[in-house]
């Protein structure tokens, strides 16, 4: 993960974070380091509470909830992580930096998140934005429906009215 001896042009998330913090006259403190490490130690999606729990059980020095919230926000500003919406309206974090651009298929039934990548979409969005005088610097796209697993299931309850 540290990339020592690695000749790729991209800095590690931690380095990128440190650079960003410097521009804000902020420091990469032990707490912030713990958080950025834990976040990039695996590629799971998470929310602040889950991350706190992971930190707690990871045996690392304890970090307060406030600091977790504050740090995640900084990491977002630094371009390290971004938010994804769940179909129920709640939001979770995922890696952004160093991770290939992608969007999500989200199952309304089991909540499962599948990633997909498509270049055409970005191109279309660029051109749409351009036509409207809008400068695009990012997007968020979620496709809702039923995953292959759940559409096969015989359940026919349909609590939601069919979408028009």
Binding positions for DNA, rule: CB under 7 A: 21, 24-27, 29-32, 47-49, 62-67, 69-71, 73, 90-91
Selection from 70, 107, 75 nearest residue 93 by Cα: 75
* Binding partner of residue 113 among its own copies, DNA, none, CB cut-off 5 to 8 Å per kind: none
Report the alpha-carbon distance of residue 126 to residue 25 in Å, rounded: 33
Structure-token match 């976040």, residue found: 39
* Binding partner of residue 102 among DNA, its own copies, none, CB cut-off 5 to 8 Å per kind: none
* Binding partner of residue 48 among its own copies, DNA, none, CB cut-off 5 to 8 Å per kind: DNA
Structure-token match 């371009």, residue found: 79
Binding segment for its own copies (CB under 8 A), chosen from 1-9, 43-51, 56-64, 139-147, is 139-147
Number of residues that bind its own copies (CB under 8 A): 47
Report the alpha-carbon distance of residue 104 to residue 84 in Å, rounded: 9
Report the alpha-carbon distance of residue 111 to residue 45 in Å, rounded: 12
Q: Which helix (H) or strand (E) holds 119?
A: helix 119-131
Report the alpha-carbon distance of residue 40 to residue 46 in Å, rounded: 11
Verify binding: residue 142, its own copies, rule CB under 8 A. yes
Considering only residues 31 through 90, tell me which ones interact with its own copies, judged by CB under 8 A.
77-79, 83, 85, 89
Residues near its own copies (CB under 8 A) are 20, 23, 77-79, 83, 85, 89, 91, 96-97, 105, 107-108, 114, 116, 118, 120-121, 124-125, 128-129, 132-148, 151, 159-164
């Amino acid at each position: 993960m540290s990339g020592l001896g690695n000749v790729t042009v991209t800095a590690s998330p931690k380095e990128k974070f440190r650079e960003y913090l410097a521009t804000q006259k902020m420091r990469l403190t032990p707490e912030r380091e713990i958080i950025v490490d834990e976040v990039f130690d695996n590629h799971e999606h998470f929310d602040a509470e889950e991350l706190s729990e992971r930190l707690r059980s990871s045996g690392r020095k304890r970090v307060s909830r406030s600091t977790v919230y504050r740090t995640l926000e900084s990491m977002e500003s630094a371009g390290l992580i971004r938010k994804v919406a769940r179909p129920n309206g709640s939001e979770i974090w995922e890696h952004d930096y160093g991770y290939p651009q992608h969007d999500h298929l989200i199952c309304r039934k089991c909540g499962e998140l599948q990633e997909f990548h498509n270049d055409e979409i970005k191109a279309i969005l660029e051109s749409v934005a351009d036509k409207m005088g809008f400068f695009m610097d990012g997007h968020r796209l979620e496709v809702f429906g039923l995953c292959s697993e759940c559409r096969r299931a015989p359940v026919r309850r349909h609590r939601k009215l069919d979408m028009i």
